[in-house]
Structure 1
Amino acid sequence: MAYSATMKKAIGDVRSALAAVGISRQSNRFAEHGEHAPEADAPTILVACSGGRDSLALAAVSHIVAGLLGVHCGAVIVDHQLQAGSDKVALAAAQRCNGLGLDPVIVRTIEVEGSESGRSGEDAARQARYDAIVETARDTVAAAVLLAHTRDDQAETVVMDVLTRSAGIDALAGMPPTFVRDGVRFVRPFLDLSRAQTTAICRERDMSWWDDPTNGDDVPADQPLPQNYPLRSRVRHTLMPYLSNFFNGDVSVHLAQGTTICQEDKDFLETATNEVYCKSVSWNMQGAAAVMLVKPLAQAHPAIRRRAIARVLAELGIPLSKRHVLSIEALVIDWHGQGTLSLPSGYSVNRQKHVIRVCKNG
């Protein structure tokens, strides 16, 4: 079958992304002409599929690549039950994945609990979705889970994080091409493909897709989305087109390309942070959830010290803010007998001599 230039690029991007995490051709017979079934013990990759154009395009391309490599390719579809008819959307996505030849195709129906302390409804849904995907990946012993985030998603993420989180280099670095969550490897092969290209792939494969109504696709392009739409939808529909028009070019390309450089800078900072973290942080000691030694933190560069403190809070599930990190840093470098500091999620922090203790209240 002859493929378009867009499809060839997508196939190459998926192959490269899998090779980067150690998933390559299982034997030379998969380089020979014709279709060959993978061995029973060959690795399994799962595509997280919503039924939208991006994830369906990824499912189609991943199935092709799996055949070239001799690995199994399945899909996991998560039904959040947050919209009327979500079960039908999930079923349709599963049927399309089955039609592409993916196996296994697993639908997970979940309930998203109400917003937790410091967490929005969108964050709660995202957490529940990842939990379901992680559990499915473990059940199927998947070597990797593929996510269909595109270059447009990457650019939108950078804009949102820079403008709402003020997270420095982490915001500019955007979404990493691969990461591990709860022991499961996630891969984003489409970060160099645009949404227009995933749409083209779906049309080339004659696949229909589902458009999430919260995306606001039915709202005219010259009208801003109302405030009750999700932030990402408003950024996608209103802000990104405005910026591209203002700068007379597709800003998503420039924003996404910049993340590659920033990812390298972030990796360097994370390596340095890990050294300080290992020297200074202990868990579940002295009646505290976490204990941080003052001396190695005080000797570290401020950027590394703050990242080490932020990592401790993140691993405890405490919502981060610059104010909290700086307050804890003051216990390290500006200690003059401050009392206990209150943190979100029912935690507190205090200094006792040469250690800083992060405790769960009560």
Structure 2
Amino acid sequence: MVYSAQMKKAVGALRSSLEDAGLGRQGDRFTRHGSHLPDPDAPLVLVACSGGRDSMALASVAATVSAMLGLRCGAILIDHGLSEGSDRVSLEAAANCRKLGLDPVLVRSVQVRRTSAGLEADAREARYEAIGEEAGRVNASAVLLAHTMDDQAETVLIGLIRSQGLDAITGMNHRMKRDGLDYLRPFLGLTRQETTEICRQQGLSWWDDPTNGDGFPDDQPLPADLPLRSRVRHDLLPGLSRFAGRDMVRRLTQGADLARRDAEYLDRQADALADQVVMPPEPDDADQGILARLDARSLSTRDSALRLRFLAHLLSNLGVPASSQQVESLDALASDWHGQQGPVFPSSYSAFRKCQVILICNDGVHANR
């Protein structure tokens, strides 16, 4: 079969992503020409499919690459029930996945629990929770996500709008693990235009989410009540490219790759710092609600970038929600302590310094202050 340039690029990207995750060729027979069925116990990968152009392109490419490698390939579709006709969209996309030969094709309806994080974040959380449950039920080895270079550029801009620091510009990882399950993003090097071309070449139909602003006039800004990502996609990113006189999708994605390398190095150094500053627990710490003891003097001698990153990781691992300001307040207990109180975190967590020890506590069970 002769592949187009877009298809060759997509096949190579997915194959590399799978091989990097330990999901390479499953036997010598898959090196030979011809059609070879995977073994019944071959690793299963699932395409997270919305029915949009990106995920339909990924489903088509995954069917091809899985056959090359001897992997089983299925799909999972999540119906959030947030728009009229979403159930029909899911069923039509599932039918298209079955036509591609994917098996199993799983359709799951979810109830999105609304929180202060916002609808987009709440829907994402519900989606990942459902995907994880279904992937575990069928013993999937990995889930493929169809985020593209355009999504990466949008993520960087949203990070700059919403937050500060290095992590705001690192974008999405090519591979992440959540609840023990691998999620792979093989298309971060492809553009949305390329996935659209793949769908057209393969004769695939797709659905455009109206909340993305597709079909809205290019010379008019999207309404403010549409999701931030949609407005970044439709208004900000094209405007930024016009202003800079260059393709800012590619520039932002390249910058994210470079920033991520720096962030990963800092993460490794910050995690290693735990061995030097986290003190052994004392026998009654659990009864006292003490989650961690830190050597304040040792922590104070480290570079501020490492201290802040270490503390942010520590709080996350302890399940303590914290803002960047609260992390800095916690850091000040080591780096600039003059008897001040430590930060009070949400959900009844707090931190304070006692002599040369910083204590991070669950106030619900902490008895001795």
Fold equivalence (TM over 0.5): yes
Residues 1:291 and 1:59: Cα distance change in structure 2 (over 3 Å): farther
Question: What stretches of structure 1 of length at least 5 have no aligned partner?
Answer: none
Q: CA, structure 1 residues 295+44, in 2 after alignment: closer, same or farther (shift >3 Å)?
A: farther
Give me the whole-angstrom Cα distance separating, in 1, the residues matched to 2:92 and 2:290.
49
Deviations 1:117-171 (A, max 9, x none): xx222111111111111122222222111111100000111111123211x2222
Whether the aligned pair in 2 keeps the contact of 1:276 and 1:296 (CA below 8 Å) is no
Return the letter of the residue paired with 1:138.
Answer: G
Aligned position for 1:288: 290
1:308 to 294, 298, 310: 310
Q: Which residue number in structure 1 is paired with residue 351 of structure 2?
A: 349
**Residues 333/128 of structure 1: CA separation in 2 closer, same or farther (3 Å cut):** same
Q: Does 1:323 align with 2:320?
A: no
- RMSD in angstroms over aligned alpha carbons? 1.7
1:169-180 alignment runs, 5 A limit: 169-180=166-177
* Post-superposition CA distance 1:280-313 (Å, at most 9, x none): 3478744134443324422321111101111123
Within a 5 Å distance, the mapping from 1:111-130 to structure 2 comes to 111-116=111-116, 119-130=117-128
Partner SS for 1:348: strand
**Offset at 1:340?**
4.7
C-alpha distance in 2 between matches for 1:339 and 1:227:
41
Q: 1:74 aligns to what SS in structure 2? A: strand
Q: In terms of mean alpha carbon deviation, does 42-51 or 320-329 score higher?
A: 320-329
Larger Rg: 2
One-letter amino acid matched to 2:133: E
In structure 2, the partner of 1:194 is 191
Opposite residue 78 of structure 1, the aligned amino acid is I
Please point out which of 161, 164, 182 is paired with 1:163: 161
State the one-letter code of the partner of 2:34: G
C-alpha separation in 1, matches of 2:103 and 2:294: 47
Q: Using the alignment, how far apart are the partners of 2:6 and 2:140 within structure 1?
A: 27
| Gaps in structure 2 of 5+ consecutive residues | 365-369
Task: Name 2:15's counterpart in structure 1.
Answer: 15
SS of structure 1 residue aligned to 2:256: helix
- Name the structure 2 match of 1:204: 201
Runs of 4+ aligned structure 1 residues displaced above 6 Å come to none
How far off its partner does 1:318 sit? 4.5
Work out the CA distance in 1 between the residues paired with 2:57 and 2:174.
18
- 1:12 alignment partner, SS class: helix
**1:89 equivalenced with 2:86 (yes/no):** no
Q: Which residue of 2 aligns with 1:225?
A: 222
Per the alignment, do residues 30 and 14 of structure 1 end up closer, same or farther by CA in structure 2, a change over 3 Å counting? same
Give 2:367's aligned residue: none
Q: Does the 8 A contact of 1:216 with 1:237 survive in 2?
A: yes
Amino acid at match of 1:99: K
| TM superposition shift of 1:321 | 2.5
Contact 1:51 1:89 survives alignment (8 Å): yes
TM-score under structure 2 normalisation?
Answer: 0.92
- Do 2:90 and 2:107's aligned partners in 1 also have CA atoms closer than 8 Å? yes
How far has the Cα of 1:79 moved from its partner? Answer: 1.2
* 258 and 30 in structure 1: CA distance in 2 versus 1, 3 angstrom threshold: same
The alignment of Structure 1 onto Structure 2 pairs a total of residues equal to 359
CA distance in 1, matches of 2:225, 2:250: 28
| C-alpha contact 2:79 2:108 (8 A) present in aligned 1 | yes
- Bigger drift between 48-57 and 271-280 goes to 271-280
Q: Counterparts in 2 of 1:47-58, with a 5 A limit? A: 47-58=47-58
The one-letter code of the counterpart of 1:293 is D
CA contact (8 A) 1:149 1:191 kept: yes
- For 1:219 and 1:317, how far apart are their aligned partners in 2? 42
Q: TM-score, normalised by structure 1?
A: 0.94
Cα pair distance change 1:335/1:245, threshold 3 Å: same
Once residues 271 and 127 of structure 1 are traced to their aligned partners in structure 2, the CA distance between those partners, rounded to angstroms, is 27
Match of 1:43 in 2: 43
How far apart in 1 are the matches of 2:112 and 2:105? 22
263, 271, 275: which one aligns with 2:272: 275
Q: 1:40 aligns to what SS in structure 2?
A: coil
- Kindly tell me: are residues 122 and 358 of structure 1, through their superposed partners in 2, closer, same or farther at Cα, counting changes over 3 Å? farther
For residues 37-62 of structure 1, the C-alpha deviation after alignment (integer angstroms, 9 at most, x for no partner) is 11122111111111111011111101
Alpha carbons of 1:225 and 1:319: their partners in 2 closer, same or farther (altered >3 Å)?
farther
Measure how far apart 1:314 and its partner are.
Answer: 2.6
Contact 2:289 2:362 in 1 (8 A): no
Q: Is the 8 A contact 2:333 2:342 kept in 1?
A: no
Q: Which residue of 2 aligns with 1:149?
A: 147
